């Protein structure tokens, strides 16, 4: 078997020095994705630095009224936190829609953001995949792509990002906080994931060796009126075909504020800003919701076998906004 | 598995009997209570506390581990296997490939003839993707795995074909091993004279057994005897196959399968790749060797149910009487081995019709040889036939339950043979009563609950019943107990518990006085746990041996051992249509905006003969219904259209129903009895699965107005373009 070193630092700086400048080093959170990839020969780290003993656990109130979720907070703890449930219900619902109870007890918030696509070709080292082996080609474009991207993909990669949690975070304008040897940095989640382009192996803007320490959620008037809905090929324990996190504030029949993010459609959580702008200050009607969905999805480029995702995304936007409008009238 | 003569056609080939089997347990004169009593599994505490050992758990001195290397191309030849990087790796004991593997007897196979699927490492040919092409053996499993990853294999690729369909140019008539295609009456004339005709295509994908326990075998030599512990459904038949494959005297081979974590047909196909390779390795290296498949390898190297493509034409009079059933069925095979996915089985026997024609077509493509999985033939065949029946009812604007009742045959519609005990009507009527079918509005798309459409559906079904030759020995011990020895296997169904009850009843003692020995080929010839014929076959042998022993006990000296082989008794059984029956009812909800289908209720009424243990039998039937649900909504082996390789060869990609998909399920029995069996039993292994997919597909039609003729009923096949556009999808205008 492939041997690797394992470290369990207790200080952030100590962790950083173990990874920065070491090409083979990787951070280990819950291991629910990385360890599988190691078993399948997709990832072959020479050093694992376990971050679960760093002081990064827990959900705290942020100055200014938001919440800060520590990077090693487990998915289960994040979903169960009373303030998350009260102020960002779609986030709690999104986390609970993912994986299984056992996996959520292990998986961490930071790791969730960095999990890799579940594209079958990515997970099989005997097949071409530009994300795993740059330049080898994309098997999915001509191959099996029933559950691949319809938005924002490139000729180099059509994989989707698998996270549910990140979809809700995208809708709530979350900010990713990370640490390098130079200090603390922040970047909006909307800028965290890189466009696919010609380099699908590069998924985020994180500098080499940087450690995610927290995700912060700004205070929001609309986030308490939010919902996450995930459509998948069985009732539980499957990745999304399409999912949606939406928040809607309606006053006297007019949309005061709308937040929409889609999952399962692109290489990253897809913030539907076009749809949001169509909705802003407009009538809260099914026709308007549908027009907003159509505007957003006019950019969709379905592959041979995944055109249903466009219909599904359109229907989901309309259905979830309609439910939210009925609830917030 | 289905590799045995089924139902009437096979019975008809048997010589007419001169001896009538006298049941030892007539329902009018019930014997002692061991049979018919709900008892929990005797090995249950051992399983839940972890003391029970599965094949890969057996401790073994000096054990080496083999790791299987599989082909990454779908067709071609191996140009080279470069072992130079592997030989010096830590712990590596050897690499076995086609250049140094023991030569096998290429006649070895199944009932259908030689099976190239077992003839591993005999040449440089790659006949399908995932073909085992080498075994790396090392001191530890991790070392073997690591070395296997370092093996450099190069291929000369050749064009492949995995594009299966009924119209494939290579299509040929399927084997008539289980009887000829049916030709009764003039189908074309009857269709022309029919008031309504349904003519539709139904498709089912490749489906995998997906047993929880991956296949594992450990093999070693003790002097001149080959010892094997393997995960399989029938140790005796596997031992015979190993003997043939390796040109050994059958007495040299002992195969044990003490506890098996599910089979579903995938452990019934002669001799699994794990066992072939383990025997090769222990023979070559002179050490005990264990080979355990990974989950992905189980998908790639172990037989699956082939895809099917079926055309069904049914013609009926306006009053619902069937004039014609024309069932043409194609299925995938491999050039490596013949096989029959007998999809037309139910069309031969379920309904009366003036004309019945069946045509079975095999289409060779570049895949692993398919084999029996979960109600082979009958299950995909039932989906086609019972969906088509529902379509007949739709066009006649008739209650689909009533349509079934109107076409009840009095003798086998094709065979002309009498039914031994046909109890379909009882299942239909009692199931309908419990389900509340009478209040159903038969028009589609009439029930709505908020955003959900609600529908109900049903299907009738049968599954061939019978027994196959087996032998049992019973010893009356000096302490008043009895040792019952039979080469049966318990693949998780509760065979140990059931057979103990059967033996206790036959010997007129308590089950606690029975010591049951199973799962060992040394216990003598016995049928495997397959074809819903395990318990019937084994019980017959035990019952007859017990009767013989009781007749000899008198003042005999103990211990006294008596053996019985059922081959002769079975041959004397008069030919008849012998089947289990069931009626399945389902209720589904559909969200047309998302295509999500959820099964809300499932109810099955079953006529399965006398029930040995209602707790275990119900558990098998409920499990079978869940498998049918899973087939209806989830299961689909997917191949890359360009490379022909499996894309979803794991449980993340190959979806089976999760707990959240499984609703309230009711399975219950109508009183039934099989007169041709000494214990009156029929078998419960597969009938639970058979009718469920059609019952669900018919309910989805009832909810939405749209027919689902391709499985699984994926959300993209149900999804509707416009939310809230009422009735836009409805193509029917009933009433």
Instruction: Give yes or no: residues B277 and B295 share one domain.
Output: yes
Residues of chain B found within 8 Å of residue A126, distances taken between Cβ atoms? 72
Mutate to test the interface with B, among A3, A98, A144, A309 (most CBs of B within 10 A): A144
Residues B31 and B131 in one domain: no
Q: Is B719 on the interface with A (CB under 8 A)?
A: yes
Residue A235 with chain B: CB contacts under 8 Å: 598, 658, 660-661
B87 and B41 assigned to the same domain: no
A78 located within any domain: no
Q: How many CB atoms lie within 10 A of CB A225?
A: 20
Are B658 and A144 within 8 A, CB to CB? no
Q: Is residue B542 within a helix (H) or strand (E), and if so which, with residue range? A: helix B534-553
Task: Let me know if residue A234 belongs to a domain.
Answer: yes
Q: Do B724 and A234 make contact, defined as CB atoms within 8 angstroms?
A: no
* Domain-embedded: residue B119: yes
Facing residue for A241 by CB, picked from B142, B715, B720: B715
Q: Quick check: is A312 in a domain? A: yes
State the residue range of the domain holding A257: 226-328
Q: What is the pLDDT of residue B32?
A: 52
Whether B32 and chain A come into contact, CB under 8 Å, resolves to no
Does A180 fall in a domain?
no
Interface test with B, best of A142, A304, A311 (most B CBs within 10 A): A311
Mutation for A interface: B711, B719, B726, most A CBs within 10 A: B719
Spell out which residues of chain A touch residue B131, defining contact as CB-CB under 8 Å: none
Q: For all residues of chain A together, what is the average pLDDT?
A: 97
* Domain ranges, residue B506: 7-53+466-571
- What is the ipTM score, two decimals? 0.97
With an 8 Å Cβ cutoff, are A235 and B593 in contact? Answer: no
Q: Are residues B122 and B231 in the same domain?
A: yes
* Chain A residue numbers touching B645 (CB-CB < 8 A): 127
Nearest CB to A315 within list B593, B633, B642: B593
Residue B355 lies in a domain: no
Which residue stretches of chain B have pLDDT < 70?
1-32, 723-735
Q: Which of B574, B246, B222 is nearest to B419 (CA)?
A: B574
**Residues of A with CB below 8 A from B661's CB?**
234-236
Closest CA relative to residue B410, chosen from B574, B577, B573: B577
Positions of B annotated as catalytic residues are 686
Q: At what angle do helices B692-704 and B614-633 cross, to 10 degrees?
A: 50
User: Are B43 and B69 part of one and the same domain?
Assistant: no
Residue pair B604/B431 in contact (Cβ under 8 Å)? The answer is yes
Residue B67 lies in a domain: yes
DSSP-assigned beta bridge partners for residue A62? none
Question: Is A311 part of a structural domain of the chain?
Answer: yes
pLDDT value of position B269: 73
Domain membership flag for residue A282: yes
The encoded tokens of residue B508 equal: 């007129």
B261 within 8 A of B211, measured Cβ to Cβ: yes
CATH number of the domain encompassing residue B15: 3.30.365.10
Inside any domain, residue A122: no
HEC letters along B39-99: CCCCCHHHHHHCCCCCHHHCCCCCCEEEEEEECCCCCEEEEEEECHHHHCCCCEEEEEECC
To the nearest whole angstrom, how far is the Cα of B715 from the nearest Cα of chain A? 7
Best probe of the A interface among B138, B205, B652, by most A CBs < 10 A, is B652
Residues B117 and B14 placed together within one structural domain of the fold: no
At residue B25, the pLDDT reads 43
Query: For the segment B101-149, what is each residue's pLDDT rounded down to a tens digit?
Result: 999 999 999 989 999 999 999 999 999 999 999 999 999 999 999 999 9
Same-domain status, B42 and B119: no
B145 touches chain A (CB under 8 A): yes
Residues B471 and B563 in one domain: yes
Statement to judge: residues B236 and B98 lie in one domain: yes
Asked whether the beta carbons of residue A234 and residue B143 sit closer than 8 angstroms, the reply is no
The sign of the CA dihedral B56, B59, B60, B64 is positive
Residue B519 placed within a domain: yes
- Using a CB-CB cut-off of 8 Å, the residues of chain A touching B89 are none
Interface contact flag, A234 B633, Cβ < 8 Å: yes
Contacts of A315 in chain B (CB under 8 A): 593-594, 719-720, 723
Size of interface A-B (CB pairs under 8 A): 88
Which tokens in the block code for residue B101?
């593997």
Cβ atoms of residues B470 and B543 within 8 Å: no
- The reply to whether B617 falls in a domain is no
> Looking at the complex, does the CB of residue B524 fall below 8 Å from at least one CB of chain A?
no
- The answer to whether the CB atoms of B146 and A139 lie below 8 A apart is no
The CATH number of whichever domain residue B222 belongs to comes to 3.90.1170.50
- pTM for the whole structure: 0.95
Which DSSP category does B122 fall into? S
Could you give the number of structural domains in chain A? 1
Cα Rg, chain B, nearest whole Å: 26
Residue B515 touches partner A, C-beta closer than 8 Å: no
Nearest CA in chain B to A242: B594
CATH code for position A246: 3.30.390.50
Q: How many independent structural domains does chain B possess?
A: 2
- Chain A hits for B598, CB-CB cut-off 8 Å, are 235
Which residues are bridge partners to B78 per DSSP?
A: B155
What are the pLDDT digits (tens) for A193-214? 999 999 999 999 999 999 999 9
- What is the full DSSP assignment across A291-319? HHHHHHHTT----TT-THHHHHHHHHHHH
Given a contact cutoff of 8 angstroms between Cβ atoms, the answer to whether A165 and A75 are in contact is yes
The two structure tokens encoding residue A187:
């970047």
B46 and B89 in a single domain? The answer is no
Chain A contact for B295 (CB, 8 A cutoff): no
The beta-carbon neighbor of A235 closest among B145, B643, B661 is B661
User: What is the rounded CA–CA span in Å between residue B102 and residue B427?
Assistant: 54
Tell whether B153 and B33 lie within a shared domain.
no
B72 contacts A308? CB cut-off 8 A: no
B11 and B104 part of one domain: no
* Mutual angle of helices B378-396 and B614-633, in 10-degree steps: 70
Do residues B348 and B415 lie in contact, with contact meaning Cβ atoms separated by under 8 Å? yes
Residue A187: inside a domain, yes or no?
no
């Amino acid at each position: 078997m492939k041997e690797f070193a394992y470290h369990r630092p207790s200080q952030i700086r100590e962790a950083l020095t173990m990874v920065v400048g070491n090409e083979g080093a990787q951070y280990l959170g819950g291991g629910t994705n990385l360890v599988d990839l190691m078993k399948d020969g997709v990832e072959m780290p020479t050093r694992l630095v376990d971050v679960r003993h760093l002081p990064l656990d827990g959900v705290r109130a942020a100055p200014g009224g938001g919440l800060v979720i520590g990077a090693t907070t487990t998915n289960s703890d994040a979903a169960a936190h009373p303030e998350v449930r009260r102020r960002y219900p779609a986030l709690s619902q999104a986390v609970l829609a993912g994986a299984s109870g056992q996996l959520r007890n292990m998986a961490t918030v930071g790791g969730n953001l960095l999990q890799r696509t579940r594209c079958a070709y990515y997970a099989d080292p005997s097949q071409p995949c530009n994300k795993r082996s740059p330049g080898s080609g994309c098997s999915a474009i001509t191959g099996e792509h029933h559950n691949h991207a319809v938005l924002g993909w490139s000729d180099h990669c059509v994989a989707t990002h698998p996270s549910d949690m990140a979809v809700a975070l995208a809708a709530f304008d979350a900010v990713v906080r990370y640490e390098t040897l130079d200090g603390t940095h922040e970047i909006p989640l909307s800028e965290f994931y890189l466009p696919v382009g010609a380099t699908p192996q590069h998924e985020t803007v994180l500098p080499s060796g940087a450690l995610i320490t927290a995700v912060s959620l700004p205070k929001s008037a609309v986030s308490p009126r939010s919902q996450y809905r995930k459509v998948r090929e069985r009732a539980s324990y499957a990745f999304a075909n399409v999912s949606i996190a939406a928040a809607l504030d309606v006053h006297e029949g007019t949309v005061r504020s709308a937040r929409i993010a889609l999952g399962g459609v692109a290489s990253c959580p897809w913030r539907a800003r076009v749809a949001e702008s169509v909705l802003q200050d407009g009538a809260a009607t099914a026709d308007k919701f549908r027009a907003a969905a159509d505007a957003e999805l006019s950019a969709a480029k379905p592959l041979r076998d995944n055109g249903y995702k466009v219909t599904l995304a359109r229907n989901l936007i309309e259905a979830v906004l309609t439910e939210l409008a009925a609830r917030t009238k | 598995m289905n590799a045995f003569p089924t139902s009437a056609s096979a019975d008809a080939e048997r010589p007419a009997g001169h001896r009538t089997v006298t049941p030892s347990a007539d329902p009018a004169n019930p014997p002692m209570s061991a049979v018919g009593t709900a008892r929990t599994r005797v090995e249950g505490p051992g399983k839940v506390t972890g003391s029970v050992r599965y094949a890969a758990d057996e401790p073994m001195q000096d054990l080496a581990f083999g790791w299987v290397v599989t082909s990454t191309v779908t067709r071609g030849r191996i140009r080279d296997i470069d072992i130079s990087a592997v030989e010096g790796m830590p712990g590596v004991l050897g690499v076995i490939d086609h250049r140094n593997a023991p030569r096998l007897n290429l006649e070895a196979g199944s009932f259908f003839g030689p099976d190239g699927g077992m003839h591993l490492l005999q040449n440089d040919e790659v006949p399908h993707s995932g073909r085992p092409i080498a075994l790396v053996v090392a001191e530890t499993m991790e070392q073997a795995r690591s070395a296997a990853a370092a093996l450099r294999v190069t291929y000369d690729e050749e064009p492949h074909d995995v594009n299966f369909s009924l119209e494939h140019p290579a299509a040929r008539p399927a084997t008539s091993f289980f009887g000829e295609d049916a030709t009764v009456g003039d189908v074309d004339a009857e269709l022309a004279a029919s008031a309504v005709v349904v003519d539709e295509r139904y498709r089912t994908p490749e489906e995998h057994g997906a047993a929880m326990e991956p296949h594992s075998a450990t093999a070693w030599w003790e002097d001149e005897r080959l010892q094997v512990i393997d995960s399989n459904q029938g140790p005796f038949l596997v031992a015979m196959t190993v003997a043939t494959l390796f040109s050994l005297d059958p007495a040299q081979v002992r195969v044990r399968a003490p506890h098996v974590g599910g089979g579903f047909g995938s452990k019934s196909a002669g001799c699994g790749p794990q066992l072939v390779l383990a025997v090769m390795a222990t023979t070559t290296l002179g050490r005990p060797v264990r080979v355990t498949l990974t989950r992905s390898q189980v998908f790639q190297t172990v037989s699956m149910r082939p895809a099917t493509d079926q055309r069904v034409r049914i013609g009926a009079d306006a009053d619902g009487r069937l004039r014609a059933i024309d069932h043409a069925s194609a299925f995938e095979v491999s050039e490596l081995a013949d096989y029959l996915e007998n999809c037309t089985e139910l069309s031969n026997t379920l309904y009366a019709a003036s004309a019945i024609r069946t045509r079975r077509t095999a289409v060779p493509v570049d895949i692993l040889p398919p084999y029996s999985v979960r109600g082979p033939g009958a299950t995909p065949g039932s989906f086609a036939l019972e969906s088509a029946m529902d379509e007949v009812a739709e066009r006649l604007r008739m209650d689909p339950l009533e349509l079934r009742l109107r076409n009840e045959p009095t003798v086998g519609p094709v065979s002309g043979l009498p039914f031994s005990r046909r109890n379909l009507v009882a299942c239909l009527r009692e199931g309908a009563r419990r389900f509340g079918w009478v209040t159903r509005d038969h028009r589609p798309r009439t029930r709505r609950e908020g955003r959900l459409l609600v529908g109900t559906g049903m299907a009738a079904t049968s599954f061939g019943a019978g027994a196959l030759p087996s032998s049992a020995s019973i010893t009356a011990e000096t302490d008043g107990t009895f040792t019952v020895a039979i080469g049966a296997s318990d693949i998780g169904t509760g065979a140990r518990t059931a057979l103990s009850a059967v033996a206790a009843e036959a010997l007129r003692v308590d089950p606690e006085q029975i010591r049951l020995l199973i799962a060992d080929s040394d216990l003598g010839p016995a049928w495997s746990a397959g074809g819903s014929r395990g318990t019937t076959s084994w019980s017959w042998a035990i019952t007859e041996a017990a009767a013989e022993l009781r007749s000899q006990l008198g003042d005999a000296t103990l211990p006294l051992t008596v053996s019985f082989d059922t081959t002769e008794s079975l041959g004397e059984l008069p030919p008849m249509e012998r089947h289990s029956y069931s009626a399945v009812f389902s209720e589904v909800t559909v969200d047309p905006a998302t295509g999500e289908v959820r099964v809300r209720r499932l109810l099955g009424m079953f006529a399965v003969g006398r029930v040995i243990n209602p707790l275990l039998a119900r558990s098998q039937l409920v499990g079978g219904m869940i498998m049918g649900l899973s087939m209806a909504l989830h299961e689909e082996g997917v191949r890359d259209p360009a490379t022909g390789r499996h894309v979803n060869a794991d449980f993340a990609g190959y979806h089976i129903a999760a707990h959240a998909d499984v609703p309230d399920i009711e399975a219950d029995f109508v009183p039934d009895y099989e007169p041709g069996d000494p214990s009156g039993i029929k078998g419960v292994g597969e009938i639970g699965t058979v009718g469920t997919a059609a019952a669900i597909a018919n309910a989805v039609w009832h909810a939405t107005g749209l027919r689902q003729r391709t499985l699984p009923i994926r959300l993209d096949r149900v999804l509707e373009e416009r939310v809230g556009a009422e009735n836009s999808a409805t193509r029917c205008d009933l009433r």
